[in-house]
Amino acid sequence: MNKYTIADFNKQFPGDNACLEWVKTCRYPNGIFCRTCSKTTNHSKLSNLPVYSCNRCGTHVHPMVGTIFERSRTPLTSWFYAIFLMSATRCGISAKQLQRELGVTYKTAWRMFKEIRTLYQDSPHSMSGEVEVDEVYIGGRKHGKRGRGAEGKSTVLGIAQRKGDVSATVTPNLKGDTVYPIIKEHVIPGSMVYTDEFRVYRRLKKQGYHHKRVYHSSKVWVLGDAHTNTIEGFWSVLKRGISGVYHAVSQKYLQCYVDEYMFRYNHRKDEKPMFLTVLEKI
């Protein structure tokens, strides 16, 4: 991945006008089509408003309408800088840190934080070949049983293609009726699926998949080519990021946090800087 530093950011986006011009170019790469003139015409920015006006008829175009910036009074430079900060870190950044960096209220920082995170949502795609399936439990520290069956935990089902992407979905439970539709949505039948010995995975062969297991309860982590190290590596990044940066995440917003870490993982090998990849999703 090519490096994109704060110096690059300041050079490319020195002010709100540069940010607005980028949004306009991104949304109208072939020029702005004027609905009054019924053709693509030249437009000029109004001096005191984030609006472009047709040079022929004066019809206004608002590039920020339909984006996360719509109806926001926060400067565009602050929005772009917040996106830069969130994309430049591997483990994430909290809304409280955004508040300190941008000099805004916590309410504003949280709203920006939530809106920017919607850009991290990727469309699901199908996986094939060698695929690993595993689950993780996320929640506040509680006394008593750990892992499967622990109270107060949220469950996340993860699917990882070896040397490929990962998909993770927050689920209400880990019953077969919940798990298998998710697997079928993301994994092409006939693929080799590796799991641990959890009983819900026993019907994978009947669902049209090849299946191999490792027995973690017996301290067996690798058995030939059977292991779940790929998805376990993603769980490590996710859990340490949430516990170290956010400390606690509610069930309501957990999928948004999972999407953020999933997006970073799936784009880790891109040549384009992560910041520009996220920015283009506005």
Reported confidence tier of residue 247, pLDDT bands at 50, 70, 90 = confident
Tokens 């002010």 found at: 15
Indicate whether 185 belongs to any domain.
Answer: yes
Q: What is the pLDDT of residues 187-211, one digit of tens each?
A: 999 999 999 999 999 999 999 999 9
Residue 143 pLDDT > 60: no
Range 208-232 average pLDDT: 91
Indicate whether 223 belongs to any domain.
Answer: yes
Q: What is the pLDDT of residues 33-43, one digit of tens each?
A: 999 999 999 99
Residue 212 pLDDT > 60: yes
pLDDT value of position 130: 95
Reported confidence tier of residue 142, pLDDT bands at 50, 70, 90 = low
pLDDT value of position 123: 77
Indicate whether 120 belongs to any domain.
Answer: no
Sheet holding 52-54, edge to edge: 43-45, 52-54, 60-61
The average confidence (pLDDT) of the chain is 90
Indicate whether 162 belongs to any domain.
Answer: yes
| β-bridge mates for residue 127, sequence order | 187
Percent of residues, the chain, with pLDDT higher than 90: 76
Indicate whether 89 belongs to any domain.
Answer: no
Indicate whether 11 belongs to any domain.
Answer: no
CATH code for the domain in which residue 170 is found: 3.30.420.10
Indicate whether 85 belongs to any domain.
Answer: no
Residue range of the domain that includes 227: 130-251
Domain total of the chain: 1
Indicate whether 273 belongs to any domain.
Answer: no
Helix (H, G, I), strand (E, B) or coil at 148: coil
Count of residues in the chain: 282
pLDDT value of position 251: 84
Beta strands in the chain (DSSP E): 32-34, 39-41, 43-45, 52-54, 60-61, 130-138, 154-161, 166-171, 192-195, 210-213
Residue 14 pLDDT > 90: yes
Reported confidence tier of residue 242, pLDDT bands at 50, 70, 90 = confident
